[in-house]
A = this chain, B = another copy of it.
Amino acid sequence: MNYKIKKIKLSKIIKFLNLKLNIKKDVSIKNISNLEIASKGDISFCFNSKYLNFLKKTKATACIISKNFLKFVPDNSIPIISENPQIDFIKISNLFYEKYALDKISKKIIKTKDIKKKFKNITFGNNFICEEGAKIGKNVNIGHNVIIKENSIIHDNVNIGSNVVISNSIICKNVNICDGSIIGKKGFGFKFFKGELLRIPHIGKVIISEGAEIGSNCNIDRGSVADTVIGKYTFLDNQIQIAQYVKIGDYCMLASQVGVSGSTIIGNHVSIGGQSGISGHLKIGNNVKIGGKTGVIKNIDDNKTVMGYPAMELREFIKKNIIK
């Protein structure tokens, strides 16, 4: 199922949203994006003051915003004032990516005998399902019952276990993915608005950087508009859940059953103990150490060591819980 992007006139978008707004000059909108990575031709949105700094510098051609954010919209961007910028953005997303809210399979599967011809020096197990459009590099080992979907690129020297499902992802060289992990599924995104269910289309990718390892039965969801990224030589143990648009830096270590909620950014050289959870939209600095079963609900500065629920500095955790 390839992306179905259409150009849409901004006037048509405004009409579709039932907004009363006069724009001086009509323009073509090519795609949806978020404030940070938007480029000319994109439409974006802002309703959370956390992202005002991105709004001020956005390159989006148009931006759906709350009224009080009007003064922060840069000159290159046409402000679209809305009572519900997020809801309206979701509606538009579905306009650009019609019927794109659910993951579906392609009907075009490369025949087993053609896989060896198409990709060089790869080995694969029984029942390897490779959809047309997927790209696979050299010296790649693939287990049994693996599914690689059309929007995926697998680079050289990658090792993939059995029962793995990869879609909408770029797997860089020397990555190791263990059995049963699901990479690149749509994120968990929907809103109920005036009794109607609105599903958020997910069009970002998952990027697993060079040398990283993903354990067994992990989930790494694609971002809604931007990419979910696992850094270089970052190691994930089993049963880890990484939500949409999370970015994890290089040389991190996540122990089993960790969960990271959407849009959180984690620095380099971070270690996270088993069963810890990190809320969404947070920023975790470099060289942070997070103890096991910790619940992180606010940002953590560089070089901190934390533990507990809610997370506190380790010395405080010890003082509070262990020395008495």
Contact B159 A144 (CB under 8 A): no
Contact B159 A104 (CB under 8 A): yes
Query: With A216-B182, A257-B241, A274-B261 given, is the CB distance from A144 to B162 under 8 Å?
Result: no
Chain B residues contacting A321 (CB-CB under 8 Å) are: 310
Copy tally for this chain in the complex stands at: 3
Name A's interface SS: loop
Cα A109 to Cα B123 in complex, Å, equals: 14
Contact among B102, B178, B182, B295 for A217, CB-based, below 8 A: B182
Contact among B147, B179, B219, B237 for A216, CB-based, below 8 A: B219
Cα A297 to Cα B143 in complex, Å, equals: 36
Contact B165 A188 (CB under 8 A): no
Contact among B129, B162, B217 for A126, CB-based, below 8 A: B129
The interface size of chain A toward B, counting residues with CB under 8 Å, comes to 65
Chain B residues contacting A105 (CB-CB under 8 Å) are: 123, 125, 141, 143-144, 162
Looking across the interface, which residue of chain B has its beta carbon closest to that of A164?
A: B163
Cα A102 to Cα B179 in complex, Å, equals: 11
Chain B residues contacting A197 (CB-CB under 8 Å) are: 211, 233
Cα A107 to Cα B123 in complex, Å, equals: 9
Cα A29 to Cα B125 in complex, Å, equals: 35
Chain B residues contacting A186 (CB-CB under 8 Å) are: 178
Chain B residues contacting A56 (CB-CB under 8 Å) are: none
Interface of A toward B, CB cutoff 8 Å: 102-105, 107, 109, 123, 125-127, 129, 141, 143-145, 147, 159, 161-163, 165, 176, 178-180, 182, 185-186, 188, 190, 192, 197, 211, 213, 215-217, 219, 221, 233, 235, 237-239, 241, 243, 251, 255-257, 259, 261, 274-275, 277, 279, 292-293, 295, 297, 308-310, 321-322
A-B pairs with the 5 shortest C-beta distances?
A293-B295, A188-B237, A219-B238, A275-B277, A241-B256
